[in-house]
Each structure stands twice: as structure tokens, then as C-alpha cells.
A and B are shown apart, each in its own frame.
Chain A
């Protein structure tokens, strides 16, 4: 049957299982927006295209499905760029569809023409320029396949306006895929599995490093089984948090620059690292030449280009983490590492004495305490989306994540402005679940306009603004490494309560610890979005911290009983 290109696009999206699209219309994509009215896909009108990309990203992380963002040519497409780069760095499957000028005008600097496939080439897993209607069905199907398979990532489809208008045959879906160069490896060879198992069975001080890949592969059960069978402690990267229950006795929490002391010490003293779906980012390893010097490394990873990139893998197992672990676990023997665990716990006890959690109340609001209060109020079961900065690290450190995909945060790119839109996206993935955005006063202002998107959609998203009137993380670096010469970090903030109310969102300001619980309950009981501004201690710092260029065990720890 003949259909218009714009219709074929929606036919294909429906068949790919798309339920919601985050977007913003404009000249070059109008035929698509017109055809949209006839299809059962919900469109969320964002306030800035960056928000659309982050919402698609948050949706994808919370649902495990592919998120879809849509924008017009030129400025619409360039506004998506940060969100696409973010999805690329964190391996999140999204498909972005942008309008493009008609094919005969491509290359002529036509109105709102931008070389979008050129701009996004290094920040997409793959991209397409579609000039004809009869290519649309195949390209959409390939795009979804590429986005979600192998190491997931963003795919962009730049759709010329003429292709949206023109007609083409649309009979069967999915059309055959022709990707001769795209064959992700899924299983590892037996001899390497055996080698890995031997190392695991012999190790005295092993540590499992749990990365984002565990969540992406849905391998949480396999991880739990491996860890408990061989009694191996599990440290998580920022993006790996929530894959392994924080309350589990083998859980070591977060590793890396702001990782816990005992976690980093465990890694540095380990004799075997079993890295699962992670890429030894510099924020995780500290300086490479001093990283886990005694440890043999097993690296299980879907992306072959990550093997040996930063850390040499003695046993590289390339494949789908879930399948590789399923193959590996039967070869691993039951084991006991109680001596090793005791050592790690001793480190923990020592470090805990400095924890801000053991402070006497000082009448001020501290973000770590607030995160704990949010944990208490939500039963530890909310989806927490964060922005970027100190509050992000505190959320990661103190919201003890129990269930998978409860933390949604911008890891690799560290894109301020991510928190609120990602929370809205996550809510669309699971409307019954409680969703909190924990954001800083700086980052929140970058995408605050999405508050009205939340209102318009009835998105039940709660926003906790941790207002220290500073670009806190940058201030902290200036305090530690630039002799406290504060440069461009002192920030006048708007009246966030009025700002929220102007967006039709009920809001409150909290300045004292005794108001916290009641405010949280108020927000939870409010229908739809709600905002709480917490006016927090201005110059607190995130501890521990591994300074850039230092080894992972060379942490700056919180000064004992520090009072700000």
C-alpha cells in the first residue's frame, strides 16, 4: 500500500513499540507532526530540545526501551546535541529524528539547514541522512536495532522534507536489515571462560567492579549469583549503582574519585578485579600507573574497543554480559573470603568515624542528610535522577539503591541540566513509581523551563533543589586546588519558590532541619510536580576525594568532626 513518508515513519515507530516521543516542531518536520495526529503515540512538547534528548535518555534508562526524541532542522537539531553526546557517553539507546531541508536543497545553505549528520558523527553510534520515502522503513528499523543491540547508543535519523511528503510502498514490517559490518559479539570462547574461572577460584582478595553494563544487559541476577556463590565483594561505578543491592553484606558501594574509602582501598589491595560492563574511566581509576597494582584483571565487556584501552585485561571476555556470566558461573566454585571481607570492614569502620552521618546536628541543612531523609521518606524505592555537581555525588553516596535502574545520572558527559528532564522521561517509563530529581541551583536553572512540561503532562516528578548559592563542585575544586580563589562560582539565584509557582508548580522553601520531613511528605502528597528548595550549607565539600592525578588510595578525607 502506498503511504506518505511521514506516515511510514509513524507506522514504523508504532511497530518498534514506541509509546512516547519527546519533541519540538518546526518547519522542516511539519509533515511528520501532521501525520502524528493519526497514530497512537503520545507526544510530549518540551521547552527546549535539549530537554527532549534528556527525557528520551531518562525514559530509556528507566524502561530499558529505546527513547525517542524529535526536532526540526537547524537550531532544533543543534539544541539536541548535548543530549545526544550524553547518551553516547553513557551508552543509552535513543533514536533522534530531525527534519532536514528537501534533498535538492541539501548543501545550499538553505533556511535552517545545518549539517546535522556531520555535527553528530562523532557523538552518535550511527546516523542516517534520508532523502527518499522508500528508505524510511528500513532506516528506522536499522536505527532501533543499532541503538539497542551491542553496546547501546544514540542513533540519529536526519529526514529530508521531501521524503516526508513523497509516497512509497509500505507493506511489511520489519524490512530486512542489511548491516554486513555490524555484528556485535555476544558470547565468549570457552577456553577464556575457563581461564577466568580458574583465576576467580584461586583469588584471595577479589573484587567485582559493577558497571553500567550490568544494568544495560539486565544481568543483575547473574551478578548477585556470582557474587554470593564465590563470596566476592561488589564495588560499583557511578552508573553501576542500583545493580547490586546496597544493603547486601557484599556491597561496597561506589568506587572512584568520590568513592568510599574502604571501596577504593579494597580495589587497590585486590589480587583480582572482575570488571563487569565498565570502561575504567579516569574518574574510576585515579592515575593509571598506580591502579590496583597487585590485581590480575578480568574484563567482561560488550565493546571490544574498551578492552586494553585504559587498563590491560589479562583475560578479556567480549560479549553480552548476561550470556557471558551465565556461561561463567557454572565454572566458578563456591568460596569464602571472610578474611578479606573482615579487612575491608575494618577499613570501613575507620573511615566511618569521619562520616558526616555521625555528626551531631548543627542546625544547618547538609545535602547528605537530606538525601538520607529522601531515602527514608520514599522507602528507598524512588527513582532518583540527579543533575551534575556535589549534590550528584552525595545522592550517589547516600541514597542506598536497592533495586535496578533507580539512579539516573549523567556520568560520562556530566551534563548540567540533565536532572529535571531526565526525571520527566523516567516518569513516563513508569508512571506508578515515585520519581525525584535532586538538582543543584546552578544546573536546575539550565533546564528549569521543563517544569511547565511536567505540569502540562501531569508528570508526578518531585524536585529537590539543593541551593548552596554556589556552583558547588567548581567551588570545591577552587577551595582544594586553587587556594580558595573563588572565580565565577558565586551565584545569585532566582526565588525558586516563585519561579516554580510561575510555572504552575507548588513549591516550598526549607531552611531548617526540623522542617525537612514535613516538607517531603507535603511534596509526596502533592498531585503532579512539586518543588522544594533546600537552602543548604554553602561551603560543604564532597568527601572522600581522589584528586586528579593521584592514585586511587590517595584520598582527601573529611577532616574529623569538621564544622562548617
Chain B
């Protein structure tokens, strides 16, 4: 099953490599990984979607191993929580003037936008959940996709609730121990 982790790391060179290397080393397959800055310039946020064949057991293992990286500050499992998740795709389709209306129609159904028009192609920008983007891609396929770029998922929990923080590897045994306001920089 797929798990989604939100990982806060120190914004330093090489940290992405450490995290990616850990997944390789521990034999996990990353489905998508998105990194970006946070409101604190010294912290970056990663959203990692990963296949965990053994469910929660694997999730524990990953969390515990992520915490072993000195630069990893916080790991939250948001898989089972209400979240807003978004992926952004830019899709270039082969469409001359005769098919523009059709593509335009599709785009508006999905609340996507046409962001570039050329004599024989259109580029569509769509944001949304993975499912929504996948359905749009399926409908565009027969028309002819020339090229596509996707950001990978980012996720944030709804409301003030945060993700599950198992103290490394120990489900249910420990309460959250890390108050982010106490993280000294």
C-alpha cells in the first residue's frame, strides 16, 4: 500500500541525497518525492509517497530510519488522515485549430487551464489530486500527448491536526515528543 510522509529536514546541501539514498539502501520504492522551502528558511519540507508492501510495519521502519539521519527534524505519516493533496501537471497535446475546442472543453470540465497555444499544440495546466490528474491524462491520451511534466504530490493535513508522529518505530507507545517551537535554530 501507498504511504504519504511529510518530512521536515534541515535546508542544507546533500540532505535530499541522504534521504533518497536511505530509501534505496533500505529497499523501498519512492513513487514521488517533492521538496520545497517552508515558512522557515532553514527548514525544507519533503512530501514522499512510497510503496510499503508490509503496511504499517514498513511505515514504522521507514520513520525510524529517517530519524537516524541527523538532518531529519520531523517525520509525519499523513496516509490515514484527512489531507489536502495536490499534484500539478503540464501536459502538451497535439491539437491543431480543428481540435482546440474539444481540448478546451475537457480542460474546463477539469478546471484546468490552457497556458500555451501554438499552431499545432496546446499546453494544459492542471492541479489536483492524483486521481483527477490521472483521469484527465486518460482522456487526453487519444488526442495525443506530446510531453508531460508533473511535480509529484504535496500534502498538508486539514485543520490544526498534524500527522501521526510515532516516536521512531514505536507505534502507540510514545506521544509526540517534538514540539516544533522548541526546535532551536
Contact of B64 among A118, A125, A178, A307 (CB under 8 A): A307
- Bound complex: CA A189 to CA B18 (Å): 31
- Render A89-124 as a binary contact track against B, CB cut-off 8 A, 1 for contact: 000000000000000000000000000011001100
Q: List A contacts of B25 (CB < 8 A).
A: 122
- Bound complex: CA A117 to CA B14 (Å): 9
**Interface pairs (7), CB distance under 8 Å:** A180-B73, A180-B185, A181-B71, A189-B174, A304-B64, A305-B65, A308-B169
- Render B146-185 as a binary contact track against A, CB cut-off 8 A, 1 for contact: 0000000000000000000001111001100110000111
- Determine if B132 is an interface residue (Cβ-Cβ < 8 Å): no
- Bound complex: CA A146 to CA B183 (Å): 18
- Determine if A192 is an interface residue (Cβ-Cβ < 8 Å): yes
Q: Are A180 and B10 in contact (CB under 8 A)?
A: yes
Q: Are A182 and B168 in contact (CB under 8 A)?
A: no
- Render A181-194 as a binary contact track against B, CB cut-off 8 A, 1 for contact: 11101000100100
Q: Are A121 and B21 in contact (CB under 8 A)?
A: yes
- Determine if B61 is an interface residue (Cβ-Cβ < 8 Å): yes
Q: Are A305 and B170 in contact (CB under 8 A)?
A: no
- Render B61-103 as a binary contact track against A, CB cut-off 8 A, 1 for contact: 1001101111111100000000000000000000000000000
- Determine if A303 is an interface residue (Cβ-Cβ < 8 Å): yes
- Bound complex: CA A126 to CA B72 (Å): 12
- Render A406-439 as a binary contact track against B, CB cut-off 8 A, 1 for contact: 0000000000000000000000000000000000
- Render A293-311 as a binary contact track against B, CB cut-off 8 A, 1 for contact: 0000000000111111100
Q: Are B70 and A181 in contact (CB under 8 A)?
A: yes
Q: Are B70 and A308 in contact (CB under 8 A)?
A: no
Q: Which 8 A-B pairs have the closest CB atoms?
A: A304-B168, A305-B64, A304-B169, A181-B73, A126-B70, A180-B183, A307-B169, A304-B64
- Determine if B9 is an interface residue (Cβ-Cβ < 8 Å): yes
- Determine if B38 is an interface residue (Cβ-Cβ < 8 Å): no
- Determine if A200 is an interface residue (Cβ-Cβ < 8 Å): no
Once A121-B17, A121-B21, A305-B64 are accepted as A-B contacts, the answer to whether A192 and B169 lie under 8 Å apart by CB is no
Q: How far is the CB of A67 from chain B (nearest CB, A)?
A: 20
- Bound complex: CA A458 to CA B73 (Å): 47
- Determine if A255 is an interface residue (Cβ-Cβ < 8 Å): no
Q: Which residue of B lies closest to A131 (CB)?
A: B13
Q: List B contacts of A118 (CB < 8 A).
A: 17
Q: A304-B67, A304-B167, A307-B64 are in contact. List 17 more A-B contacts (CB 8 A).
A: A121-B18, A122-B21, A125-B68, A129-B13, A146-B70, A178-B184, A178-B185, A180-B10, A180-B73, A181-B67, A182-B70, A192-B173, A304-B170, A308-B57, A308-B169, A316-B169, A316-B170
- Determine if B113 is an interface residue (Cβ-Cβ < 8 Å): no
- Render A159-179 as a binary contact track against B, CB cut-off 8 A, 1 for contact: 000000000000000000011
Interface residues on A, range: 20 to 34
- Bound complex: CA A306 to CA B61 (Å): 9
- Determine if A318 is an interface residue (Cβ-Cβ < 8 Å): yes
Which A residues contact B (CB, under 8 angstroms)?
A: 117-118, 121-122, 125-126, 129, 146, 178-183, 185, 189, 192, 303-309, 316, 318
Q: How far is the CB of B35 from chain A (nearest CB, A)?
A: 16
Quick one: which of A118, A126, A304 has the most chain B CB within 10 A? A304
Interface size for B (C-beta < 8 A) is 32
Q: Are A181 and B61 in contact (CB under 8 A)?
A: no
Q: List B contacts of A309 (CB < 8 A).
A: 61
Once A189-B173, A316-B170 are accepted as A-B contacts, the answer to whether A179 and B70 lie under 8 Å apart by CB is yes
- Render B9-31 as a binary contact track against A, CB cut-off 8 A, 1 for contact: 11001100110010001000000
Q: Are B14 and A129 in contact (CB under 8 A)?
A: yes
Q: List A contacts of B74 (CB < 8 A).
A: 181
Q: List A contacts of B17 (CB < 8 A).
A: 118, 121
Contact of B184 among A121, A180, A304, A305 (CB under 8 A): A180
Q: Which residue of A lies closest to B25 (CB)?
A: A122
Q: List A contacts of B57 (CB < 8 A).
A: 308
- Bound complex: CA A179 to CA B64 (Å): 17
Q: List B contacts of A129 (CB < 8 A).
A: 13-14
Contact of A316 among B9, B173, B177 (CB under 8 A): B173
Q: How far is the CB of A197 from chain B (nearest CB, A)?
A: 16
Once A129-B14, A180-B73 are accepted as A-B contacts, the answer to whether A305 and B68 lie under 8 Å apart by CB is yes
Contact of B170 among A122, A183, A318 (CB under 8 A): A318
Contact of B10 among A181, A305, A316 (CB under 8 A): A181
Q: Are A305 and B70 in contact (CB under 8 A)?
A: no
- Bound complex: CA A318 to CA B60 (Å): 14
Q: Which residue of A lies closest to B21 (CB)?
A: A121
Q: Which residue of A lies closest to B72 (CB)?
A: A181
Q: How far is the CB of B118 from chain A (nearest CB, A)?
A: 38
- Bound complex: CA A181 to CA B183 (Å): 8
Q: List A contacts of B60 (CB < 8 A).
A: 308
Q: List A contacts of B13 (CB < 8 A).
A: 129
- Render B31-71 as a binary contact track against A, CB cut-off 8 A, 1 for contact: 00000000000000000000000000100110011011111
